[in-house]
Amino acid sequence: NREWHLLSRPVGWPKPEDFALVETPVPTPGEGQLLVRNKYLSVDPYMRGRMSAAKSYAAPYELGKVMQGGAVGEVIASNAEGIAAGDHVLHFFGWREHAVLDAQHAVKVDPDAAPLSTYLGVLGMTGLTAYAGLLRTASFKAGDIVFVSGAAGAVGSQVGQLAKLLGASRVIGSAGSDDKVKLLVEEYGFDAAFNYKNGPVAEQLREAAPDGIDVYFDNVGGDHLEAAVGALREGGRIAVCGMISVYNNTEPAPGPRNLARLIQTRGRIEGFLVGDHYDLQPEFVQKVGPWVASGELKYRETVVEGIENTLEAFLGVLRGDNVGKMIVKL
Ligand code: NDP
């Protein structure tokens, strides 16, 4: 069994020396437990936060111990009722080849209903994040003009397409390469998109959304957030999902300079955590599952192979190497 340990807390961009791929014996399941061979691991931006000691919504990873994360695997031994060897389960013991876990921490998934990797992405945590953030936190309604950053990523690409499917009058996305921008407009049906590396975000947003925006789904923070505040129409809503542009900062970044605009627009900014919205999971699967199956909602995955490449895959997410959900296939 090989598993990734955190050796030291990264300062700024994580370095390979902060981590080690460690060989350990395959663990043995106790009473009520499962032994799972992981097939797909999730690497996600929030993991950067768990590598730090700073107080956050998820406990810091412990130094010298295996890290955690979403994973889907096959049960190879079960001492629990209701789950048998051969079943596939979604669980939270990623960053390793084999996991032993209490059966109550595993959710059975059906490999015939959808590709296993999608339970980590378009039909999983990132999909629900898009759904809950758009519909609940941003109070999206048909006719809204929606702007989403990180729009070619797992959450962002789903936000933009959901907004279109649910009747947005205009959807604008930003992403970090011209190829990603092309994908947004030509395949995902965004009405406009821009590469934030090609010029100031505020100017590019003004061009793409000349009438302003009703909803901003923030994955990025920084200049993007300030530009969105500036473009907000009356009664506009900003859902703060993530701020990936600051995750590797060693000093706090300055906030938007134009917050006073919220007074005249009666604008609202609200953060959310997907973990608070699992009550929406059945509705999400019922509504979005068929759109994924029919191809009306498209998704991409960037698949990196091999446990030894998990760290690189994680760093790739921070760099923007991925289109759609970043997945590690074992
Ligand atoms: P993505 O698939 O979107 O991958 C991250 C992307 O961020 C990269 O592909 C990169 O794309 C972009 N990026 C990296 N650095 C910057 C930067 N400095 N400025 C702008 N874009 C940058 O990841 P997810 O879909 O998993 O997550 C998206 C966001 O949602 C993250 O902020 C994450 O923390 C947050 N999140 C929040 C949850 C919650 O419960 N609140 C749950 C899940 C995710 P590009 O090439 O475009 O730069």
Is residue 30 a part of any domain in this protein?
yes
Asked whether residue 107 falls in the same domain as residue 179, the answer is no
Could you list the residue range(s) of the whole structural domain that residue 35 is in?
2-121+300-329
Residue 87 has pLDDT above 90, yes or no: yes
Asked whether residue 58 falls in the same domain as residue 150, the answer is no
Asked whether residue 40 falls in the same domain as residue 180, the answer is no
Is residue 295 a part of any domain in this protein?
no
Position in ligand 1 atom list of the atom nearest CA 175: 47
Q: For residue 207, report the distance from its CA to the centre of ligand 1, in Å.
A: 23
State which of 155, 190, 280 you would mutate to test the pocket of ligand 1, scoring each by most atoms of that ligand within 8 A of its C-beta.
155
Q: For residue 31, report the distance from its CA to the centre of ligand 1, in Å.
A: 39
127 lines ligand 1 (CB under 6 A): no
Count up the domains in the chain and report the number: 2
Position in ligand 1 atom list of the atom nearest CA 321: 9
Cβ neighbours of residue 202 closer than 8 Å, sequence gap 6 or more: 223, 226, 227, 230, 231
- Assign 61 a pLDDT band (cuts: 50, 70, 90): very high
Q: Which of 215, 46, 186 is nearest to 129 (CA)?
A: 46
Which pLDDT does position 235 carry in this prediction?
98
- CATH number, domain of 155, equals 3.40.50.720
With a pLDDT cut of 90, the percent of the chain lying above it is 98
How high is the ipTM of this complex? 0.99
Which pLDDT does position 58 carry in this prediction?
85
Query: Quick one: average pLDDT of 89-96?
Result: 98
Asked whether residue 222 falls in the same domain as residue 310, the answer is no
Asked whether residue 270 falls in the same domain as residue 155, the answer is yes
Asked whether residue 134 falls in the same domain as residue 103, the answer is no
- Assign 54 a pLDDT band (cuts: 50, 70, 90): confident
Distance CA(30)–CA(71), nearest Å, equals 20
Asked whether residue 131 falls in the same domain as residue 240, the answer is yes
Asked whether residue 211 falls in the same domain as residue 195, the answer is yes
DSSP 8-state assignment for residue 31? T
Which pLDDT does position 214 carry in this prediction?
98
Q: Which of 91, 44, 46 is nearest to 71 (CA)?
A: 91
- CATH number, domain of 103, equals 3.90.180.10
Is residue 99 a part of any domain in this protein?
yes
Asked whether residue 50 falls in the same domain as residue 93, the answer is yes
Residues 107-163: tens digit of each pLDDT: 999 999 999 999 999 999 999 999 999 999 999 999 999 999 999 999 999 999 999
313 lines ligand 1 (CB under 6 A): no
Cβ neighbours of residue 319 closer than 8 Å, sequence gap 6 or more: none
Asked whether residue 238 falls in the same domain as residue 156, the answer is yes
Residues 255-298: tens digit of each pLDDT: 999 999 999 999 999 999 999 999 999 999 999 999 999 999 99
With a pLDDT cut of 70, the percent of the chain lying above it is 100
Q: Which of 146, 139, 133, 157 is nearest to 240 (CA)?
A: 133
Which pLDDT does position 56 carry in this prediction?
80
Asked whether residue 263 falls in the same domain as residue 307, the answer is no
Query: Quick one: average pLDDT of 233-262?
Result: 96
Asked whether residue 6 falls in the same domain as residue 136, the answer is no
Distance CA(9)–CA(11), nearest Å, equals 7
Residue 229 has pLDDT above 90, yes or no: yes
Is residue 285 a part of any domain in this protein?
no
Distance CA(59)–CA(72), nearest Å, equals 22
Q: Are 175 and 196 in contact (CB under 8 A)?
A: yes
Q: For residue 249, report the distance from its CA to the centre of ligand 1, in Å.
A: 15
Which pLDDT does position 280 carry in this prediction?
98
70 lines ligand 1 (CB under 6 A): no
Average pLDDT of the residues of the chain: 97
- Assign 57 a pLDDT band (cuts: 50, 70, 90): confident
157 lines ligand 1 (CB under 6 A): no
